[in-house]
C-alpha cells in the first residue's frame, strides 16, 4: 500500500470560478463590458503563467511545503481584500486577480510533483485520479458556492469572503498530513537525484525541448485549456441568455442578477468531472496493459469526441435547452477524462529532478496560448459581432453563441497533438527510467563528477 492520498491545497479552479458564479453581478457593479470582463480571467492566468516558471525552479530545489503554504496565503489574502474594493477602483479588482493567479501558480506547478514522488505506475495513476477529481469539483463548487452565497446574503462580495475559510483548512491539511518526500523517491532514484550534479534551469529547458512527448502533450493540454477557459468563464452567462431567449427568464437590468444557471453549470461540472476523471484513469490503467501508448491515444479519442458535443450544445441552445445541456454535459465529461491522464504522461516521460520545471513550462504554454486569452477572445468576438447587428437580446445571445464556435476547432487540434505524442511516448519513457539519468548529457555528468572529485581531493584535472 502506498501513502495516503491527500489534497495538498485548494483547487485553483475554484478560485477562478468564484468569479464565474457571480460574473453578471461583477459586470453590473464595476460597469464592465463583455470584452473587459474577459480580461479578469486573462489577468489571473497571465500572472499565474509569469509566476509558474519561478515556482517550478524553486520547487525543484527548495522545500515544497513552504512554497505551497506561501501560495495559499497569497491567493487567500488577495481574494479577501478584493471583496472590499469600491466600484470607482475597478483596476484594483483586476490587480487582486493577478495576485491570486500568482499564488495559484505555486500549487499548480508543485503539487503534482509531490504525488509523482509518492507513487509510481498504477498507484500513481489512481492517486492522480483522486487528486485531479478536485479540478472539476473545485470548478463546480466555485460556481455553486459563489452564486449561492451571493443569493443568500444579497451581496456578491461574500462569495469572495468565504474563500479564506477554505484556504485555512487547506493550509492545515498541507502542514499536518503531506510528507516532505525526496525527489524521485517513488522510482527509488532519491539517492541518485541528491548526489547527481544539479543542472541549471537553462539545461532543464533544453532537455524538455528535446522531449517530444512532453512538447506535443503540452500543446494538447493547451487546446484543452483554451476550451475550458472560455467555457468556464462564459458558459453561465450563455445559458442565462439562452433562457431569456426561450422566455424562461427575464433579462437582468439591476445590479443583483439572480440566475440558476451558475448552479446548474456548477453541478454539471462537478458530476461530469468526477465521473470523467475516474473513467479516464481507469481506461488508462486497463488499456496500458495491452498498449503502451494508451494514455495519449485515450486523450486524443476523448478530444475528437468532445468537438461534436460542444458544437451541438452551442447550436441547439437556441432551439432546445434540454438537448444543449445534454451535449454540454457529454462534452465536459469527455474533457474531464484527460486531467489525470495528461499528468501521468508528464510524470512518466520527465526525469524526477526537473518535474517542477516541466509542470511550470506546461502550465505557462497552456495558459499563454490557451485560457489566458480565450475568455477575452470570446468576449471580444462577441462584442464585435454585436456591434454589427441590431441591438436586441436575441442578437446578443447569437453573438456569444457564434464566438464560442472556435472552441470546437481548437479541441480537434488538441486531439491531433496527442496522436503525435503517442509516436514518441515509449522512447521518452525509456529515457526517463534510466537509473541516474539527469537532464544533463552523460558527458556533462561525467565531467562535473570528475571536477567535483578533484576539488574535494585538492587536485586539479587536466583539460583537453
Average pLDDT over residues 220-236: 86
Q: For helices 12-21 and 34-59, give the axis angle rounded to 10 degrees.
A: 170
420 pLDDT exceeds 90?
Answer: yes
Q: What pLDDT shows up at residue 220?
A: 94
Of 77-86, 219-228, 357-366, 373-382, minimum mean pLDDT range: 77-86
- pLDDT confidence of residue 318: 81
Region for 258 from its dihedrals, namely left if φ exceeds 0, alpha if ψ lies in -120 to 50, beta otherwise: beta
> What are the φ and ψ backbone dihedral angles of 139, each rounded to 5 degrees?
-60, -50
User: Looking at residue 459, what is its pLDDT?
Assistant: 43
The pLDDT score that the predictor gives to residue 404 is 83
Q: What is the mean pLDDT of residues 253-280?
A: 73
Dist CA 78 CA 43 (whole Å) = 13
pLDDT in tens, 122-137: 677 777 777 767 666 6
Residue 199 C-beta-side C-alpha neighbours within 13 Å: 25
Mean residue pLDDT of the chain comes to 75
Q: Give residue 381's Cα distance to chain centre.
A: 24
Q: What is the pLDDT of residues 64-75, one digit of tens each?
A: 778 888 888 887
In sequence order, what E strands does 97-200 have? Answer: none
Q: What is the CA radius of gyration of the chain?
A: 23
Closest to 373 in 3D by CA, of 255, 223, 238, 269: 223
Q: Give the residue with greater pLDDT, 38 vs 254.
A: 38
The architecture that CATH gives domain 12-457 is Up-down Bundle (1.20)
Distance of CA 132 to the CA centre of its chain: 10
Position 443 pLDDT exceeds 70:
no
Amino acid at each position: 500500500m502506498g501513502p495516503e492520498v491527500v489534497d495538498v491545497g485548494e483547487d485553483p479552479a475554484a478560485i477562478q470560478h468564484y468569479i464565474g458564479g457571480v460574473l453578471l453581478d461583477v459586470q453590473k457593479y464595476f460597469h464592465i463590458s463583455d470584452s473587459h470582463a474577459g480580461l479578469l480571467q486573462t489577468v489571473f492566468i497571465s500572472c499565474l503563467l509569469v509566476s509558474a516558471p519561478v515556482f517550478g525552479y524553486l520547487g525543484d530545489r527548495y522545500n515544497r511545503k513552504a512554497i505551497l503554504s506561501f501560495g495559499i496565503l497569497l491567493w487567500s489574502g488577495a481574494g479577501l481584500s478584493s471583496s472590499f474594493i469600491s466600484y470607482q477602483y475597478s483596476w484594483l479588482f483586476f490587480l487582486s486577480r493577478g495576485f491570486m493567479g500568482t499564488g495559484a501558480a505555486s500549487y499548480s506547478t508543485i503539487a503534482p510533483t509531490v504525488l509523482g514522488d509518492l507513487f509510481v505506475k498504477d498507484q500513481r495513476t489512481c492517486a492522480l485520479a483522486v487528486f485531479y477529481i478536485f479540478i472539476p469539483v473545485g470548478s463546480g463548487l466555485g460556481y455553486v458556492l459563489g452564486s449561492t452565497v451571493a443569493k443568500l446574503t444579497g451581496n456578491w462580495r461574500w462569495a469572495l469572503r468565504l474563500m479564506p475559510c477554505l484556504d485555512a483548512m487547506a493550509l492545515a491539511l498541507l502542514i499536518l498530513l503531506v510528507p516532505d518526500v525526496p525527489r524521485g523517491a517513488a522510482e527509488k532514484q532519491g539517492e541518485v537525484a541528491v548526489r547527481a550534479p544539479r543542472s541549471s534551469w537553462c539545461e532543464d529547458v533544453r532537455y524538455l525541448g528535446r522531449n517530444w512527448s512532453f512538447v506535443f502533450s503540452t500543446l494538447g493540454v493547451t487546446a484543452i485549456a483554451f476550451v475550458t477557459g472560455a467555457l468556464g468563464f462564459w458558459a453561465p452567462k450563455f445559458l442565462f441568455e439562452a433562457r431569456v431567449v426561450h422566455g424562461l427568464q427575464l433579462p437582468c437590468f439591476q445590479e443583483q442578477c439572480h440566475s440558476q444557471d451558475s448552479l446548474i453549470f456548477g453541478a454539471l461540472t462537478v458530476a461530469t468531472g468526477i465521473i470523467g476523471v475516474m473513467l479516464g484513469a481507469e481506461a488508462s490503467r486497463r488499456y496500458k496493459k495491452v498498449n503502451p501508448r494508451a494514455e495519449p491515444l485515450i486523450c486524443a479519442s476523448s478530444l475528437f469526441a468532445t468537438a461534436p458535443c460542444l458544437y451541438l450544445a452551442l447550436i441547439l441552445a437556441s432551439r432546445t435547452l434540454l438537448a444543449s445541456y445534454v451535449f454540454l454535459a457529454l462534452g465536459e465529461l469527455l474533457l474531464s477524462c484527460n486531467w489525470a491522464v495528461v499528468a501521468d504522461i508528464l510524470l512518466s516521460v520527465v526525469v524526477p529532478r526537473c518535474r517542477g520545471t516541466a509542470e511550470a513550462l506546461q502550465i505557462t504554454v497552456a495558459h499563454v496560448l490557451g485560457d489566458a486569452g480565450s475568455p477575452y477572445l470570446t468576449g471580444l468576438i462577441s462584442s464585435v459581432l454585436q456591434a454589427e447587428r441590431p441591438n436586441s437580446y436575441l442578437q446578443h445571445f447569437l453573438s456569444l453563441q457564434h464566438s464560442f464556435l472556435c472552441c470546437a476547432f481548437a479541441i480537434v487540434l488538441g486531439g491531433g497533438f496527442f496522436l503525435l505524442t503517442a509516436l514518441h511516448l515509449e522512447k521518452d519513457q525509456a529515457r526517463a527510467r534510466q537509473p541516474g539519468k539527469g537532464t544533463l548529457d552523460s558527458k556533462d555528468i561525467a565531467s562535473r563528477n570528475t571536477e567535483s572529485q578533484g576539488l574535494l581531493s585538492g587536485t586539479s584535472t587536466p583539460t583537453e
